[in-house]
Amino acid sequence: MQTDFNHLNQPIGALITDWKEPSYPSNEPLNGRYCRLELLEPAKHAESLFAANRLDTQEANWTYLPYGPFDNLAQYRQWMETMCRGNDPLFYAIVNVATSEAVGVASYLRITPTTGSIEVGHLNFSLKLRRTLAATEAMYLMMANAFALGYRRYEWKCNALNKASRAAALRLGLSFEGVFRQAAIVKGRNRDTAWYAAIDTEWPALRDAFSKWLDPANFDNSGEQRVRLSALTAPIVASLSGE
C-alpha cells in the first residue's frame, strides 16, 4: 500500500475510501472437499473430539494451549460449555467429510469489524487431522471466509517457542511481523507471542496457491504431493524489517 504525504511532507497512511466494515462470521458451516467446519456443539462434538485427542498419549497437543489436557469427557465437555458458546471466540469443529467425525477445533477470535481485523486461533488438531488435506483445507476455508466477508487483516498468533505453529503460519502464507516479549502468563509460565498475518491485497495470490495445492491433480496415485504448499506461498510472504 502506498504512503501519502501531508502538507508538511510527513509520510502518512494511505487514504481508505473503498472499504466497508465487514459483518461478523455467520453460523453457517464452511464446506470443503475434505472437511466441513461447523459451529462447535458440546453435545454433538465433544465425545468425538475427546476420543480423537486421546490418541495423543503424550498430550503434546495441549502444551501451548492455555487450557487442557482434560482427564475425562465430562471435564472436556464442561470446558466447552463454559468457553465455546460465545461469538468471540467463535469455535468450530473440524469434521472429516468422509467419516463425519469431528477431528479438530479452530476458532475466530479478536474479531474487530471496525478495523477489519480477525484472528484464527485455539487450533487443536488431533492425530486424525494433522498432516492431512483436511487440515490445510480447514485453514484455507477460514481464511477465505474472513476475506470474503471483507476483513482486511487475518492474524495468527502463537507462543514464540511453538516451532510447529510458526512453521505452519509461514507455510499457509502468513508473514512474520515480530515477537511481543512477555506478552502473557500461560499456565504459570512466561509467554512471548509471535505475530503473523495476511492482508487482503495478498489474498488473491494466496487463494490461487491454495487452489493449486488442494487440487487432486497435485497428488500422485500414492497421495504424495507434487508441489509443496510452502513453495507456492513463499513468494507471497512479506519480508518485514520494521524499518
Amino acid at site 2: Q
Encoded amino acid at 162, one letter: N
Residue 2: predicted pLDDT: 74
Q: What angle do CA 110, 88, 134 make, to 5 degrees?
A: 90
Residue 19 in any domain: the answer is no
Residue 163: domain span: 25-233
Lowest mean pLDDT among 6-15, 107-116, 150-159, 194-203: 6-15
**In degrees, to the nearest 5, what angle opens at C-alpha 111 toward C-alphas 115 and 166?**
100
61 inside domain:
yes
Kindly report the CATH number assigned to the domain that includes residue 35. 3.40.630.30
Helix (H, G, I), strand (E, B) or coil at 171: helix
How many domains, in total, are found in the chain?
A: 1
- Residue 46 included in any domain: yes
Q: Within a domain: residue 41?
A: yes
What gap in Å lies between CA 47 and CA 75, rounded to an integer? 11
In a domain, 11, yes or no: no
Q: What is the mean pLDDT of residues 14-24?
A: 92
Residue 202 lies in a domain: yes
CB 128 within 8 A of CB 13: no
DSSP for residue 225 = B
Beta strand segments in 126-174, E: 153-159
**According to the model, what pLDDT value does residue 241 have?**
52
